[in-house]
Amino acid sequence: MVRLRIVAGSFVLLLAYSVSLFAEVPYTRHFGPIIDRYQAFDPQRTCSPTEKPGAIDFRHIVLGTYTRTRNLGIIRACSVGGTSEHKEGRAWDWGVRVTVPAERRNADDLIGWLLQRDPHGNANARLRRFGLMYMIWNRRIWASYRAGEGWRSYSGPNPHTDHVHFSFGWPGARRQTTWWHPERTGTPVLGPGTEEWVADESAEDVEIEGPFPGTTSPDRGRNGVEEAALRLAIEQQLVPIRDGEIDDTTRYCPPNSLVVSWDMDVEAFKHGGNIAPMGPEPDENTNEVTGIVYCKGFDYAYVGFEAWWDEDNGVWMVLNTPTCD
């Protein structure tokens, strides 16, 4: 078992996502101090395009609050694009546009509400209680499994400027988290001044236990990263070359045609997503880098990846970036 430890830095409050006194936000339940862990990265692995209850009920809360915004759907056909939690019914696209001031304000208010610190001092409390795994909005991604890094630049064919993408871990998707079961959180502290939520998006030190969902390599430098990234793409079938059934092996790029790039223009692809900026090409002194894997001769899809050197275990940790188009 590999233990992934993510240490939060000192983060300045991101005012764009803070919740003002007059913000329009959903109702809040009373909770005790016990809270859910940050969700580990658990990407789509099966074809199960039925709407899961946690995603359905989260959608009802959001659309019930922001009545002039749109539902862009939970499920997606398994035959289109790369990996996506939409194909397991545990992702939802909320229709709000960056170019419409009222909708952008709605999105910023909701996101700030999800990331607030609760009266017990729990960081990113509502996001954790809903069991959200990551959010993508306006060319940026916030991932619970990299919570200490806050918002990061996200690039790909879909800039997510006309919707917010929400993906749930399985506990959240199944409605098993504490938002739906406040009785599991201990005794709420009620009374004047005790229900204050702090507009503070900084994360706690995050330690996510369990099997690492990516790949590793002990070889320092470029060769180690590329070997692990290619193995990840092959083992998890992350680079399709056309539409087709999920279990059709001919749908995916042949291993000998997979290529790692540190600087490719991803706008030419139909499907994909990556942490930006990419590169530069790593060497023996590199500790963290992002890149993509694509199929030579095809512009259907690519997969982004991020890699960091784990000094404690002496390995590269390589994880694919969510593909949400």
Q: Which residues contact 47 (CB under 8 A, 6 or more apart)?
A: 78, 87, 88, 246, 247
pLDDT of residue 188: 78
State how far the Cα of 194 lies from the Cα of 44, in Å rounded to an integer.
Answer: 40
Give the pLDDT score at 201: 67
Per-residue confidence (pLDDT) for residue 195, from 0 to 100: 56
Lowest mean pLDDT among 96-110, 206-220, 267-281: 206-220
CA pair distance 37, 129, nearest whole angstrom: 9
Please tell me the distance from the alpha carbon of residue 80 to that of residue 46, in angstroms, as a whole number. 13
22: amino acid identity, one letter: F
Q: Count the alpha carbons within 13 Å of 143 in the hemisphere toward its beta carbon.
A: 22
Which of 9-13, 190-194, 313-317 is predicted least confidently? Answer: 9-13
- DSSP conformational letter for 53: H
Mean pLDDT of 55-65: 98
252: DSSP letter:
B
Q: Which residues contact 198 (CB under 8 A, 6 or more apart)?
A: 116, 117, 118
Confidence of residue 23 (pLDDT cuts 50, 70, 90): confident
Is the pLDDT reported for residue 182 higher than 80? yes
Please report the pLDDT score of residue 1 as a whole number: 42
How far is it, in rounded angstroms, from Cα 273 to Cα 304? 6
Give 320's strand partners.
Answer: 305
Omega of the bond prior to 240 within 30 degrees of 0, cis?
no
Read off the pLDDT band of 205 (50, 70, 90).
low
pLDDT at 15: 39
pLDDT digits (tens, 9 = 90+) for 118-174: 999 999 999 999 999 999 999 999 999 999 999 999 999 999 999 999 999 999 999
Residue type, 168: F
Q: What is the pLDDT of residue 149?
A: 93
pLDDT(16) > 90:
no
Query: Which parts of the chain are beta strand (E)?
Result: 4-6, 70-71, 91-95, 132-137, 140-143, 151-155, 164-168, 206-208, 215-217, 258-261, 274-275, 288-295, 302-310, 315-320
- pLDDT computed for residue 324 by the predictor: 76
Helices (H), the chain: 53-65, 101-115, 125-130, 170-173, 222-235
Q: Tell me, what's the pLDDT at 325?
A: 64
